Chain A
Amino acid sequence: MKRQRSTPFFAPALVREAIRESFLKLDPRRMFRNPVMFTVEICTAVMLVVCTWILAGEQTQGAFGYNFAIFVWLLFTLLFANFAEALAEARGKAQAASLRKTREETPAKVLKADGSVAERSSSDLKKGDRFVCEAGDLIPADGEIIEGIATIDESAITGESAPVIRESGGDKSSVTGGTKVLSDRIVVEVTTVPGESFLDKMIALVEGASRQKTPNEVALNILLAGFTLVFLIVCITLPSFAQYAQAPLTIAALIALFVCLIPTTIGGLLSAIGIAGMDRALRANVIAKSGKAVETAGDLDTLLLDKTGTITIGNRKATHFYPANGVDTGHFTRQCVLSSLADDTPEGKSIVELGANDKSLSQQQLQFMLAEKSAMKFIPFTAETRSSGVDLPGGLRLRKGAFDAIRKMVEVAGNPIPAETAEAVQRIAANGGTPLVVAENEAAIGVIELQDIIKPGIRERFDRLRKMGVKTVMVTGDNPLTAKFIAQEAGVDDFIAEARPEDKLAYIRAEQNSGKLVAMMGDGTNDAPALAQADVGVAMNSGTAAAKEAGNMVDLDNDPTKLIEVVEIGKQLLMTRGTLTTFSIANDVAKYFAIVPALFAAAIPGLNALNIMRLSSPESAILSAVIFNAIIIPLLIPLALRGVAYRPIGASALLRRNLMVYGLGGIVAPFVGIKLIDIAITIFH
């Protein structure tokens, strides 16, 4: 069962909390962090003063009701912006809390130096402490298994109900706090201090406490501050122009013009967009250590992927039997199956499976062979012989193994290698397969072809990445010939064959030197340097602590194709900011046409020609623009939280699309919106 990944945007509990928070966020000290909205807060305060002034008897500023309405809607503008941020935070917190719930106050069986076990609370654990977990125990903290092997239920973290195996040594030694041991006993060393684990970091990021602005966010804030300043200049100089034109301005009108022109829409939604990006990553079960890492993912140029488990299903499978000339097909199939009957490796099992499905081998024969199994003597694979096989009671010796190992054996016995067998070996290798030569009594009788099985659908994912501009690189221990074939089959752009950890590191450095941003996924300790070197290093949650420490993201699902999602989340994050900025600025055209004629219509009747929306009165025009400016924020909250959909259709096409939707849409929408609000105001007034 997968954990539910989408909560409705306006779930009641979240909304209640967000509403409370949006009032608390009115505190100017907190507001100051967002310069655009801070200026709106100042304007709101000025309007409050103007309202009291009118109550005290001032006549020149227009009706109290109108001024008060402007004040109220400015306040709403602020609250809506705060609400957007608070809602994003609340959603993130809720997501994080469900992860955190499992890890609070778990009893830990701490292993003391003398070997005795004492029970303590998980919150008292320190880095380096060792604890014991047995079947049925919850693991109290993140750590690394230093002794034993166990099956673990990680569904609390990953949502995946199938248990996984974790063991000491090797790359699957890491356990996460909150998961449950199902069998066996392990000794774990605490690797992170509780409160500083990745999850805790993530929660802090989502809660906004330690949210650093990303570089793009800083640059965008400069742009927004610039626009705010331009309109500040416009509004500060306007009274003097108006005085010359003998068209007195009210404070409410001037403030309305200013607030409508500055980019409040994007200013109000900006931090919500950032938080929602982190939240989306978390929903994809990826823990990012910083917002920057998610953003960088959107810029990736190169992606390094391990072949096994990512591109291919993991194990090779037998796909063909090629008997040598003069060897009966049925006979060869039978010998192949016999040689693998006791071979428990996935390859061996796949040979039996292929044989069982072969027409030349009857069901009876197979049953007969299985019945005879106990009488056979099995020769296991060793690194020395590089072959395995079986000795039958009748003295028949069957061996299968790598071509050169079998050739050596055959040639020592004085038998020739059949030409067509050597040929088949060549052909299979060239096609990316692995040839296994079978020998019967030290005479080669044919070849079994083993092939890597490429995951269904992986080619399409790589195509998608290519269209996004991301180059995929397959990393494999295979020889170059095999690697090349699989690379072609899977549709990756490049490959590193016979890869050692240092090869990965060198490849990443070379790519970076040519200016590219590189991501890689890894789990082993020997991946750590490459993970640290990569711009985005995604460590598997099942990986070693070193790998997790080196990367800047952790994938809780241990799913190597997750990077594709991460790239899209990064791109969505930037796109949402860009499109809403465009929308916000494009809105100004209509707002000008609403407010400027309203400002001067009384003194310069001719300018009413600019009132192309035919708004009913100057006051309703100004109020409509302010109301539109306020309610567009909550209307866009779902878009800000969900993100603008990314389509890998090429940058120019994407720009065209977004310019049409958010640029042209941004110009047209407020004309319609303001007109409708004006009609409503006129009717209800």
Chain B
Amino acid sequence: MLLEIVSITLVFAAIVVLAWPLGKYIAAVYAGERHWSDRVFGPLERLSFRLSGIDPSREMTWQEHLRTLLTINVVWFFWSMFVLMNQGWLPWNPDGNPSMTPDLAFNTTASFIVNCNLQHYSGESGLSYFSQIFAIMFFQFVSAGTGMAAGAVVFNAMRQRTAAQLGNFYDYFLKSCTRILLPVSFVATLVLIAEGTPMNLFEGKDTVTTLQGDTVQVSRGPAAAMIAIKQAGTNGGGYFGVNSAHPLENPTALTNAVENILILLIPIAFIFALGFYLKNRRLARVIFGAMTLGFLMILAVTIWSEFQGNPNLNRMGISQTEGSMEGKEVRLGAGFSALWAISTTATSNGSVNAMHDSFTPLGGAMQLLDMMINALYGGVGVGFLNFYIFIILSAFIGGLMVGRTPELLGKKVEAREMKIAMLVALLHPFLILVGTAIAAWLSASGNPMAANWLNNPGYHGFSEMLYEFTSASANNGSGFEGLADNNPFWNISTGIVLLLSRYLPIIGPVAIAGLMAAKKTIPESAGTLRSDSATFGILILTVIFILAALAFFPALALGPLAEHFSF
């Protein structure tokens, strides 16, 4: 256990050490500074812009940014629906997998367009190679790029003294893909291939003879490239059904560490990038500090709980020195499974290397809490946007508490911004609680539709439904897999939740930042509440925990807490 904790600490340290220079690089990319990467990526980008007739130097207002973002997303939506519903006859389908049903195609499209991986299918049997590459992997780049570009718009808005023009969306978007996501995932792909992850393009299933002498069909495909981007872009959609618990997705301790680093790398680097971009590294440190404190608290409880083992097994006198190992990979261990679980739920990544359903109730509660907060690092770009809402709310409460009209970085926070911030803050509890309430009601009232949903009755069954909606609303994508979720109710309801919880929390912060950018800058004085002080960091973290804890406490009490206390 000690060894595992030491290695976990080292992995986390490695992430921070790598994220610092990456953050500096990201800031340079968005600031449009001259950089050696111009020579590498410049020609490709210029070619794309020339072919599409886009002028990347045309500045946009925040409304234009949002219009552009939504328009290209609508186009992608129809493209993906077409591919998934026709993959049966489309080329590059060596395993001969069938086309998707409309509701599953909708759920899959909704899931990946919002940079989520609520996979109600299994990759081996559910997708062709064509779909994997041109629907799934395509989204793993562009949906991540969309979130990062929206983040870049807010960066730009926060830097302005008084301006309406906030850069060009296409420019931010393309550079996010070409200059940040592409190189990071390229390097990761090479590591994965070297460790044994498949990267074959044309052959179908392989036939392998096992030690026992049986022959089994082993699915393969262009997996390594996809796994790299799924982690780097916090999408999490695995090539194979069991995601990174699959020995070909995550063969060794090294790939496990590398993938775990990738999950957190860009989300953390994005915060550092804010500091470099605004030339306000103290602010970045405060945000990073608040996020990390929250993250480590949740991680500590999870690791502790998992190492306690299953109390029922303990009572039976079964030794659990390795911790609770049900649903976990022996080659990875309880500690690294806990680190992964908390990393993936914190960042709306959603890939798993162990079955979350089988974690101890407290461990499951921490995963839920992580997604209910959804701003401790968060998904690439969007995690910062979620956190930005909490910054606005904290600046408002804090500003009043020091006797001044609330302001953030010299811009007043007024009724309009509060209205938007509150709407976004309300959306998450609304979607999760109302969704779960409908499901729980259907289930409790014996509706035939709900007859086969739950493999586990009782509190754990409730946790499974709560987890599904929480995961959808957090755009996370991981699941408590005990739930039978490939049916119209879950496909459609979570699909709608996915779309709402993706676009409103992008529109809100961009609108707030845009409105604030247009305001006059108030010079700082001794009476100004500094947003880059440790006190303010603590305030944000308190606001986050109180908002999440307050809204979700009864739900958590009836799910994982009831399970925990009823052992």
Contacts and interface: CB of A to CB of B under 8 A. Distances in A.
B182 interface: no
Interface in A436-463: none
Given A215-B415, A245-B459, A655 B422 contact: no
A592 B553 contact: yes
Contact of B441 (A231, A240, A578, A656): A240
Contact of B403 (A246, A515, A600, A654): A654
A244 B433 contact: no
Interface residues of A, number: 78
A592 B403 CA distance: 30
Contact of B440 (A223, A243, A468, A588): A243
Nearest to A646: B403
Interface in A593-614: 596, 599-600, 604-610
Interface string B238-254: 00000000000000000
Contact of B418 (A219, A607, A656): A219
Interface stretch (A323-331, A542-550, A566-574): A566-574
A639 interface: no
Given A222-B415, A223-B396, A298-B404, A655 B536 contact: yes
Interface stretch (B84-92, B351-359, B542-550): B542-550
B526 A607 contact: no
Contacts of B418: 219, 222-223
B429 A219 contact: no
A230 B429 contact: yes
A564 interface: no
Interface residues of B, number: 68
A630 to B, nearest CB: 20
B535 A656 contact: yes
Given A234-B554, A606-B562, A295 B440 contact: no
A151 to B, nearest CB: 41
Interface string B428-450: 01100110111011011100000
Interface stretch (A89-97, A411-419, A579-587, A673-681): A579-587
Nearest to B458: A245
Given A225-B422, A663-B542, A579 B525 contact: no
Contacts of A471: 525
Interface string B529-567: 110010110110010001101110111011001101111
A225 B423 CA distance: 10
Question: Which of B393, B426, B547, B550 gathers most chain A CB within 10 Å?
Answer: B550
Nearest to A217: B415
B31 to A, nearest CB: 24
A205 B91 CA distance: 76
Chain A interface SS verdict (over half) = helix
A609 B527 contact: no
Contacts of A245: 459, 462, 558, 562
B525 A243 contact: no
A223 B554 contact: no
Contacts of B558: 241-242, 244-245, 247, 600, 604
A651 B445 CA distance: 54
B547 to A, nearest CB: 8
A470 B525 contact: yes
A586 B546 contact: yes
A295 B406 CA distance: 12
Nearest to A592: B553
B436 A237 contact: yes
B178 interface: no
Contacts of A236: 437
Interface string B493-535: 0000000000000000000000000001111011111100101
Interface string B262-276: 000000000000000
Interface in B63-118: none
Nearest to B526: A469
Nearest to A471: B525
A516 interface: yes
B557 A469 contact: no
Nearest to B403: A571
Given A237-B437, A514-B523, A650-B526, A582 B401 contact: yes
B414 interface: yes
Contacts of A49: none
B17 interface: no
B554 A238 contact: yes
A589 interface: yes
B554 A654 contact: no
Chain B interface SS verdict (over half) = helix
Given A223-B422, A655-B535, A241 B437 contact: yes
A230 B393 CA distance: 15
B298 interface: no
Contacts of A573: 403
Contact of A240 (B438, B538, B566): B438
Given A226-B422, A299-B405, A301-B525, A240 B440 contact: yes
Nearest to B530: A652
A610 B397 CA distance: 29
Interface string A63-92: 000000000000000000000000000000
A311 interface: no
B378 to A, nearest CB: 20
Given A225-B422, A230-B429, A655 B398 contact: yes
Nearest to B552: A234
Contacts of B567: 606
A468 B403 CA distance: 10
B151 interface: no
A637 interface: no
Contacts of A586: 546
B436 A571 contact: no
A117 interface: no
A77 B393 CA distance: 27
B413 interface: yes
B565 A606 contact: yes
B557 A572 contact: no
B523 A515 contact: yes
Contact of B551 (A230, A470, A596): A230
A448 B35 CA distance: 70
A168 interface: no
B551 A234 contact: yes
A589 B549 contact: yes
List the 3 shortest-distance A-B pairs measured between CB atoms, nearest first: A578-B400, A469-B527, A571-B403
26 contacts: A216-B400, A219-B406, A222-B415, A225-B422, A226-B422, A230-B429, A233-B433, A233-B551, A237-B434, A238-B554, A241-B437, A243-B441, A243-B445, A244-B558, A466-B526, A470-B525, A516-B522, A516-B523, A571-B403, A572-B403, A575-B400, A596-B553, A651-B527, A655-B539, A659-B401, A659-B542
Given A218-B415, A219-B413, 18 more contacts: A220-B396, A230-B547, A230-B550, A234-B551, A234-B554, A241-B554, A244-B462, A247-B558, A295-B405, A469-B525, A588-B546, A596-B553, A606-B562, A607-B561, A607-B562, A651-B526, A652-B530, A655-B539
Interface of B: 393, 396-406, 410, 413-415, 418-419, 422-423, 425-426, 429-430, 433-434, 436-438, 440-441, 443-445, 459, 462, 520-523, 525-530, 533, 535-536, 538-539, 542, 546-547, 549-551, 553-555, 557-558, 561-562, 564-567
